[in-house]
Amino acid sequence: MNKMADRYWIIFFVVYSCLVRVLDASAGDADPLYRDCVGQCEKTGCVGERCFLHCKFSSDSSSLDGPWYMQEPLYLQWKQWDCQSDCRYHCMLDREKERAELGHGPFKYHGKWPFRRLYGFQEPVSVGLSALNLAMHFHGWLSFFILLYYKLPLKPDKRPCYDYTGLWHIYGFLSMNSWFWSAVFHSRDVDLTEKLDYSSAVALLGYSLLLAIVRSFSVRNEAARVMVAAPLVAFTTTHILYLNNYKMDYGWNMKVCVVMGVTQLLVWAMWAGVTRHPSRWKLWSVVVGGGLAMLLEIYDFPPYEGLVDAHALWHATTIPLTYVWWSFIKDDVEYRTSSLLKKVK
């Protein structure tokens, strides 16, 4: 067990050391030629010979989209993009074409690689995988709920015997919320969906770290839980407010998320190394798999055929990990409930 644990520590050390190599995630939107193209497009409504109806303006700067009865029905308008989005998209394509002709690699724009739209979706592969992750978390949480309230014995007041019931309910809600906004954001990247996606992801990571500490160290006293939660909630909230109200710093956010993610994996790994939990092998599977999957977020690469990038592959790896993770949670419920009932007897 010690040799196996040493290998896992080496993996985590490598992941931590990679943090210093995380660079600015949006070098493309700092490109003067790209900025000039977007600025000119927003004034004229055209990128080269391509012009966009929703970018046409009258002399008083009002839109010339036409009256409501001349526009497409609402159920068709979801495929349309606003003026700024179309300008950014086509300026990005033109700029990347120019860079490719000069033999240069692609840049990220506004924190994202240059993706090719498909059926109105900005990143169709990531949208589908995010939806699958959402479904896996819903299935996991629902089976967790049924196990607690319908399959295991309850206390006289009809509450579960499991000490961490409320914490895992909150985790399930935050997970489903995060993957929902991930699907929305990858389908349509605008300021609002970006902030909701980043904020929900940070909230989930911060809470997951809190949950890892509370469960690994068996913190059951409410006062002690508050003492653990206070600094983590304060930091997570401050970071979310910073991203939403001061600066959407992609590089800094990546560092914060990776540190929180790796730290919780380390906490779970330490517990898995010392606990006698009958399902610790599932915990090890998630810890090691999550650590390796995180490398896809650090060693990022451009999308293949404009559709599949490292982030999309990371979405794919989390689907089986989510199934194993909720399986471990349910095993933990049975294990803790059984232990408590034995003590009562």
- What is the pLDDT, as a whole number, of residue 181? 96
pLDDT at 107: 86
Q: Name the stretches of the chain with pLDDT < 50.
A: 1, 3-25, 58-64, 66-72, 74-76
47-51's contacts with Cβ under 8 Å and 24+ in sequence apart are 47/87, 47/90, 47/91, 47/94, 48/90, 48/94, 50/90
pLDDT of residue 99: 86
Measuring CA to CA, how many Å separate 334 from each of 20, 158, 165, 183, 280? 42, 17, 12, 33, 14
Q: Give domain 2-25+120-344's CATH architecture.
A: Up-down Bundle (1.20)
The pLDDT score that the predictor gives to residue 13 is 46
In angstroms, rounded to a whole number, what is the distance separating the alpha carbons of residues 31 and 27?
7
Task: List all residues 6 or more positions away from 241 whose beta carbon is below 8 Å from its beta carbon.
Answer: none
The whole-number pLDDT of residue 329 equals 97
pLDDT the model gives residue 64: 47
The β-bridge partners of 47 are 50
The predicted pLDDT at position 313 comes to: 93
Q: Where are the domains of the chain?
A: 2-25+120-344, 29-101
Give bridge partners of residue 61 from the DSSP assignment. Answer: none
